Amino acid sequence: MIKPHGSDTLNALYIEDDTARAALAAEAEELPSLLLNSAAAANAVMLAGGYFNPLTGFMNLADALSVAEHMRTENGLFFPVPIVNLTNEDWVEAGSRIALRDPNVDGNPVLAVMDVSSVENVSKEQIDFMAEKIFRTLDTNHPGVATFNDLGNTMIAGDIQVLNFSYFRSDFPDTFRTAVEIRAEIEANGWNKVVAFQTRNPMHRAHEELCRMAMEQLDADGILIHMLLGKLKPGDIPADVRDASIRKMVDVYFPPNTVMVTGYGFDMLYAGPREAVLHAVFRQNCGCTHLIVGRDHAGVGDYYGGFDAQTIFEEEVPDDALELEIFSADHTAYSKKLGKVVMMRDVPDHNKDDFVLLSGTAVREMLGKGIAPPPEFSRPEVAKILSDYYQSLDA
């Protein structure tokens, strides 16, 4: 199986041993407590599950600035975005041990225990520097920039030990999986070549066929459909609706034992190219050998070029940074001429009228009115689930 990023074995920060975890939880109740913001809590969950291997906790300011500028920590570890704990609290002291509390669960239970190695003030200029490198813009209308700007200007670094997976295990018991669990299932399946498909949206025919194309062209053993379960921007479809629609598509239209439908606990960054590279890091940690990167991967609005998330791997990611490889995908659409979904670059004899093209807005309007999109665009079973959701918004 493909090695994790940056180490020979996966270093997940969740305390698996029940006795050790209970002892740590008891200790945590006696420690000073820091209430995390949602972004830091999501980072802790990802560290817990091994997705951010080989990190052992939150980065300090020097590493965060270096990663933002060069995609490497000061000691040379390749990493595409800073993994930080930013806060407005200023009482934490370097050398202390503190409990990190979960902002996303009622009662704010302890999520992790942290050994604080440094506490540093971050200037507005440094926040802007990192934001511009990560998101390629300082426009506060960009949801990622707006969130990053509001996290705080005190950076608390240090190793963590994690007690639980926040709300993800309880809210999504059939879907949430750690990188450790995904690697184990891939190994149990006997899969060697595994393609990952990232999604924060339901999957329409084009997405379905793209997965099928990648599997066939790469002669892959299986595909990991891996959906984001954390916080999104307003207007995005909730995780439970996405989960139901994707599972229905897989159950009806894919051969048995060829697809794993799973999810991970992270808040969307909307960082386009940088987030695509982050997706590659944690899919390698899951045991995947390939990641599908399509048009406007992890993008939002018009902040990124359609294929910037592919060119970053060609132009900025060093050849030795990752073992995982990228499957670069073009626009996909249903061809009236051929009667199937194709990548547009593969059919140069087509013009616009030869495709079934629908905007996301048009599809949402149709679903909201109970009108099924054409079968060339969406499977009827999927359209029914989405239509019921959109109509419930107006009920």
Which residues are known catalytic residues? 200-201
CA 96 to chain centre: 31
* Alpha carbon distance 293, 277 (integer Å): 10
Q: Which has the closest alpha carbon to 277: 180, 175, 178, 198? A: 198
Amino acid symbol at 103: P
Helix (H, G, I), strand (E, B) or coil at 18: helix
Phi, psi values for residue 14, rounded to 5°:
-75, 135
Structure tokens at 316: 């900025």
* Alpha carbon distance 148, 27 (integer Å): 31
Helix (H, G, I), strand (E, B) or coil at 129: helix
**Could you tell me the sign of the dihedral formed by the alpha carbons of 326, 332, 338, 340, in that order?**
positive
Name the helix (H) or strand (E) containing 86.
strand 86-87
* Alpha carbon distance 226, 211 (integer Å): 12
Contact 58, 94 (CB under 8 A): no
Contacts of 268 (CB under 8 A, 6+ apart): 143, 144, 200, 228, 230, 231, 232, 233, 236, 298
**Could you tell me the sign of the dihedral formed by the alpha carbons of 44, 48, 51, 52, in that order?**
positive
Amino acid symbol at 23: A
